[in-house]
Structure 1
Amino acid sequence: MKKDIDSFGKYQFYIYTLITLPLILSAGFTLDYVFTAGEVKYRCKIPECEDLDSATKLRGMSWLNNSQSLTENCKRYSVSSFKSETNCSAPGFFDHNKTEICNEWVYDPDEVTIHNEWDISCDSNRWKLTLIGTINNLGQLVGLTFASTLSDKYGRRTVLTSITFLTGISGLIHSFSVNYWMFVAFEFIDACFAAGIYSACFIYAMEMTGVEQRVVGSTFISCIYAVGEIWLGLVAKWTRNWRVLMRVIYGPGLLVIALMYLLPESVRWLLANDKRDRAEKVYRKMAKVNKLDISEEAFIELKNINDEKEKENGDAKKDTSKSEDESAAADSSPVKKAEPNITQIRHSPKILTRLLICSFCWLTNTFVYYGLSLNSTEFGQGDKYINFILVVAIEIPGNIFVYPLLNSIGRKATLCGAFVFSGVFCLLIQFVPSYGMWHWVALALYVCGKGCITMAFSTSYVYTTELFPTTLRHSLLGICSMTGRVGSILAPQTPLLAKYIYDGLPLLLFGAMSLTAGMLTLSFPETLGTKLPDTLEEAERIGQKDPDEKATSDHNGSSTLSPA
């Protein structure tokens, strides 16, 4: 019965349709700082020369080249002590051998971010803009630690709708920030609330879908998130004002509270928490909408299954209520089964090495993935909004094409190839001129690099799960994920490398790290066609043949993939 109900039908389509709203919103919540804290074009304000017309213009004044260097926005030439002219365009009006720091600036009037609203300009203040992205990712790191616990305790639907609603409220308050530090504080609060939205949607969707449809379901979720990123770019291009942008992005979050009444709770969560009557109601509605003929005996069987589970849990509790003497005797028993402990990997150099490489791959994934998205707004001479939209749109084909590759050429080849090609594309950009039509060639390479790192990111989720044993999988996956979060925290600082050291340094760093990760993945065993390892020993044997299996293979004249 359970298999029939879990098949993808109209009811699952209804659920996936409803969760598109929080998924799309979560992309905006996560990346809005790209535009709210973006740098606006600006120049020094020259009080001696400005008039009503020039006070809002960046270029076009005859005196501008005479007053400051074309490559400098934060310094201007001092007025000459020996000037004989009152005309700013006169050659002797400014002393080109003497400069001074600008105290006021003229900004592009067509765009408003916190940069020009609060005069966060020049080298001494540039860190304040990049800090916003780091604070956002720190907030996500904190929020994720609470979101998973709350989801397990109070339910998927409850947490999903609650945190999306709270993010909407926080974001709207955020849009009324009166100074920089208030903005920073609410950036952190927003991120804490928003951190669990994507994972809550993902887990909820997977728990409401059968095993055979989960690959399609996860691909759909990844693509909808990319649609949310595109929507963010379009709204930013339309509004060009950080306050309006935030209100458009966060306002719809208040509507998600309606999903509390439109979405059912996850049936797997209900069953796991002994809420069988509610689970049965959801199953009955699901069967009705999907037009499945489920007998009453099947529902009784479902209850009996959970009664057996409850009995097993009760027996387990009785076992743990032994007397102290019995417990002591059990502890001293030589056949006692050791509890899974992450410290076990110290005795397994193979698994420890695998963990270190996986952690570096996750770090590279997040660093390059977010780094390319963030730096796209300052890449080349094109429109920053179009650049961003193209760079995030490539995630859709990247997420779609990766799964056929995983099942055809395998996990290792897909991950290695995705990393290597991403690195090559990032490095090739260094050899392409940035002027004229060459800009589009460079942008195409940039977009391809983002598409490849997206494929690497998706592959890492699948591959990492298959490389570690069941007893330690959650803990080791958590270490990789936490290491990866370091990459997303550091990525917002990469624009400073371009400003202070070398324009192409971020791309060189992205390319070098991707190539290194690609080479390191060659040490992984192939997991395509193998069962998930349950123990440390099984995980170590992935990719190896059993002696007995090899003998059988040699005898039969064919090889068989090890089930470990």
Structure 2
Amino acid sequence: MSESRKNSVGQAPPDRKPSMANSRKASTFEKPVDLDDILVNELGQFGWFQMRNIILVAIPIIMSAFMSEYIFSAAAIPHRCQIPECGENSNRVEFEPEWVLNAIPETSSGFSSCERFAPRLGSPNGTLDYCPATIFDQNTRVGCEGYVYARDNSVVYDFDLGCEEWLRALAGTLSSVGTLLVLPITGYVSDRYGRRMALVISVFNLALIGLIRAFSVNYVMYLVLQILQTTLGAGTFSSAYIFATELVGPKYRVVTSATASSMFAVGLVILGSVAWVIQPWRYMIMALHIPCFLIISYYWILSESVRWLLSKRKYQEARKVLENVARVNKTSISDKSMEALLIPPTLPDTHEKKRSLIKVIFSSRILLRRVCTTPIWWITTTFVYYGLSINSTSLSDTMYLNFILTCAVEIPGFFTAVLVLDRIGRKPTLSVGYFLSAACNIAFAFIPNDLEVLRLIVFLLGKFGISVVFTSLYLFTSELYPTEYRHTLLAFSSMIGRIGSITAPLTPVLMEYWDGIPSVMFGGMGLLSGLLVLTQPETLGTRMPDTLAEAEALGTPESKKPKS
């Protein structure tokens, strides 16, 4: 996640000329001094400064989860055909009157949502209190011309989207498309104007566009603002994540990453709680997004990323931040380390022509197999992870509690991965996580609906398994690729993985055909990915591959030898 300093940075700060003494001092170092070395040896890998940073950025990470509010604002709500022959002239009438089965066909889940019996010509009309079956031809079914809804806390009610499930589910799909479109935008702002500016702009866009969406006058406006909000505001998590991880030492980076992911889960729990307390969807959106404007103050509160300052040769600003870190952590940084960090030696230019990445991939069977395998892991992980969160609202009538529990179980899943990754290995952790989630999802599809407690437990275990995978996947994928191509191939896997998050919101629609279809799909994808993990070498205890040859040698005894 963090951005490495450029090796070509070799000039002195702009406000002072490079002296011969400084040049000689820099040249005495055999290699550039890395910020990680200074964190480990002098500033402290995890002190009060890093703690304060994590606490501060935890708030925008929590807020970044609020973009998933479409799960509630565009939630499916029970509906049926409006029956004008019985005096129903609006959708604000009783949802289940005593005579409902006289006018609407019965189904296994109650009565039909999208069909009704045709009225008999010439028959007298009924009333809201009494509507006999004799005025309907129960051998002829017709589609609805209007709808009656069980609740009014969704855009489905406000914009009359009854029986248009694919259109309703489009809100979640467009939200996921926006998270893909945001990657180059946030990356450009972050690299050009700094991590702090990227964070503030992202949260501002999240808050402003979210607030405007609460006043949508039609569904088209709601959808346009949905994709616009995620396209311009979904960079909140990545920007805050960088602040959390860039200034902690290597020893605490995995734990910090899991903590950041846990804060996102906390945000989802808060989202479910707010939606439960404030059920009108417009007021819910306002309650979630108005507090986000407070994060604008971070422009003056947060210190800019030291790594970004160094990469942009803003040495005086970097010096001030480093001195502040030392002061808050009650440590010190030596003049020698400071000078070596701010004035690294100029490395000789190399003009070696690099081969095209595509040619490298097709020239190596091992690398080609990995490039074809890792994106499937990512598709499965995002598909199952987001699919379970979205489908949790349909588990039972307690949709809010189900969602909260489904999100809360992610937290122990994240930290379980941290505890076992370095003990039992990457492959067992990922495979067991996939297989556990797959087994639970497939079993869930066949558990009777009346066993609500058992269904909930199995569902939560499935979410726990995929949460373990989510935390482990980033590390294992990065360890399989050589340094030269690691970032590109990891980004490629993650980008292809967005297919899973884009299609996940559409899975509830498939429940119209059979309730178990989404669960079986989640289980099937989990089994496939769990088996594919077994085709790759274990990376625990191996050195991170720098070259293609080292990456191909993973799993052999040579890969476990320390570098000379």
| Whole-angstrom distance in 2 between the partners of 1:535 and 1:384 | 50
1:359–1:480 CA contact under 8 A, matched in 2:
yes
| Whole-angstrom distance in 2 between the partners of 1:5 and 1:360 | 41
SS, match of residue 471 in structure 1: helix
Match of 1:98 among 117, 128, 140: 140
| Whole-angstrom distance in 2 between the partners of 1:539 and 1:301 | 33
| Whole-angstrom distance in 2 between the partners of 1:11 and 1:42 | 54
AA aligned to 2:241 is F
Corresponding residue for residue 305 of structure 1: 341
1:395–1:451 CA contact under 8 A, matched in 2:
yes
SS, match of residue 449 in structure 2: coil
| Whole-angstrom distance in 2 between the partners of 1:142 and 1:376 | 27
Match of 2:507 among 473, 484, 494: 494
SS, match of residue 148 in structure 2: strand
1:253 aligns with 2:292: yes
2:385–2:467 CA contact under 8 A, matched in 1:
yes
Mapping for residues 370-381 of structure 1, pairs under 5 Å: 370-379=386-395, 381=396
1:69 aligns with 2:102: no
Corresponding residue for residue 55 of structure 2: 17
1:422 aligns with 2:461: no
For residues 419-472 of structure 1, the C-alpha deviation after alignment (integer angstroms, 9 at most, x for no partner) is 01110010111231111xx11101111111011011111111010010000011
| Whole-angstrom distance in 2 between the partners of 1:364 and 1:235 | 30
Corresponding residue for residue 114 of structure 1: 155
Mapping for residues 121-270 of structure 1, pairs under 5 Å: 121-122=162-163, 125-270=164-309
For residues 8-52 of structure 1, the C-alpha deviation after alignment (integer angstroms, 9 at most, x for no partner) is 1221111111111110110111x1111111111222222232479
Shift of 1:487: 0.9
| Whole-angstrom distance in 1 between the partners of 2:537 and 2:478 | 13
Moved more, 521-530 or 144-153: 144-153
SS, match of residue 85 in structure 2: coil
Corresponding residue for residue 421 of structure 2: 406
| Whole-angstrom distance in 1 between the partners of 2:190 and 2:225 | 23
Shift of 1:95: 2.0
Structure 1's unaligned 5+ residue stretches are: 320-329, 331-335, 547-559
Corresponding residue for residue 442 of structure 1: 455
Give the 3 Å change call, closer, same or farther, for CA 12–74 of structure 1 in structure 2.
same
| Whole-angstrom distance in 2 between the partners of 1:85 and 1:305 | 86
Shift of 1:340: 6.4
SS, match of residue 97 in structure 1: strand
2:389–2:403 CA contact under 8 A, matched in 1:
yes
Shift of 1:83: 3.8
| Whole-angstrom distance in 1 between the partners of 2:503 and 2:91 | 39
| Whole-angstrom distance in 2 between the partners of 1:373 and 1:77 | 36
Give the 3 Å change call, closer, same or farther, for CA 52–496 of structure 1 in structure 2.
closer
For residues 128-161 of structure 1, the C-alpha deviation after alignment (integer angstroms, 9 at most, x for no partner) is 1111111111111111122122212211111111
Runs of 4+ in 1 over 6 A off after TM superposition: 51-54
| Whole-angstrom distance in 2 between the partners of 1:54 and 1:166 | 35
AA aligned to 1:417 is V
Corresponding residue for residue 353 of structure 1: 369
2:53–2:243 CA contact under 8 A, matched in 1:
no
1:56–1:108 CA contact under 8 A, matched in 2:
no
Corresponding residue for residue 56 of structure 1: 93
Structure 2's unaligned 5+ residue stretches are: 1-37
Shift of 1:53: 12
Shift of 1:167: 1.6
1:39 aligns with 2:39: no
1:416–1:519 CA contact under 8 A, matched in 2:
yes
Corresponding residue for residue 7 of structure 1: 45
| Whole-angstrom distance in 1 between the partners of 2:221 and 2:307 | 41
1:543–1:562 CA contact under 8 A, matched in 2:
no
1:165–1:255 CA contact under 8 A, matched in 2:
no
| Whole-angstrom distance in 2 between the partners of 1:462 and 1:151 | 23
Corresponding residue for residue 520 of structure 1: 532
SS, match of residue 543 in structure 2: coil
Give the 3 Å change call, closer, same or farther, for CA 377–85 of structure 1 in structure 2.
closer
Corresponding residue for residue 13 of structure 2: none
Give the 3 Å change call, closer, same or farther, for CA 267–105 of structure 1 in structure 2.
same
Give the 3 Å change call, closer, same or farther, for CA 269–92 of structure 1 in structure 2.
same
SS, match of residue 305 in structure 1: helix
| Whole-angstrom distance in 1 between the partners of 2:381 and 2:418 | 17
For residues 169-214 of structure 1, the C-alpha deviation after alignment (integer angstroms, 9 at most, x for no partner) is 1111111111111111111110112221111111221112111111
SS, match of residue 98 in structure 1: strand
Match of 1:80 among 105, 120, 124: 120
2:179–2:230 CA contact under 8 A, matched in 1:
yes
1:342–1:472 CA contact under 8 A, matched in 2:
no
Corresponding residue for residue 520 of structure 2: 508
Give the 3 Å change call, closer, same or farther, for CA 53–472 of structure 1 in structure 2.
closer
Shift of 1:496: 1.9
Shift of 1:85: 8.0
Corresponding residue for residue 458 of structure 1: 471
Shift of 1:300: 5.2
SS, match of residue 116 in structure 2: strand
SS, match of residue 78 in structure 1: strand
For residues 484-535 of structure 1, the C-alpha deviation after alignment (integer angstroms, 9 at most, x for no partner) is 0111111111112211x32211110110110111011111111001111001
| Whole-angstrom distance in 2 between the partners of 1:279 and 1:401 | 36
1:230–1:389 CA contact under 8 A, matched in 2:
yes
Shift of 1:82: 5.6
| Whole-angstrom distance in 2 between the partners of 1:208 and 1:466 | 22
Match of 2:324 among 278, 285, 303: 285
Match of 2:402 among 369, 383, 387: 387
Moved more, 277-286 or 465-474: 277-286
SS, match of residue 248 in structure 2: coil
| Whole-angstrom distance in 2 between the partners of 1:299 and 1:510 | 56
| Whole-angstrom distance in 2 between the partners of 1:417 and 1:505 | 23
Moved more, 77-86 or 269-278: 77-86
**In angstroms, what is the RMSD of aligned CA positions?**
2.0
Q: What TM-score do you get using the length of structure 1 for normalisation?
A: 0.88
Corresponding residue for residue 552 of structure 1: none
SS, match of residue 142 in structure 2: strand
Give the 3 Å change call, closer, same or farther, for CA 227–85 of structure 1 in structure 2.
closer
| Whole-angstrom distance in 1 between the partners of 2:154 and 2:133 | 36
Give the 3 Å change call, closer, same or farther, for CA 86–239 of structure 1 in structure 2.
closer
Moved more, 180-189 or 74-83: 74-83
Give the 3 Å change call, closer, same or farther, for CA 258–43 of structure 1 in structure 2.
same
AA aligned to 2:437 is S
Identity of paired residues, percent? 35
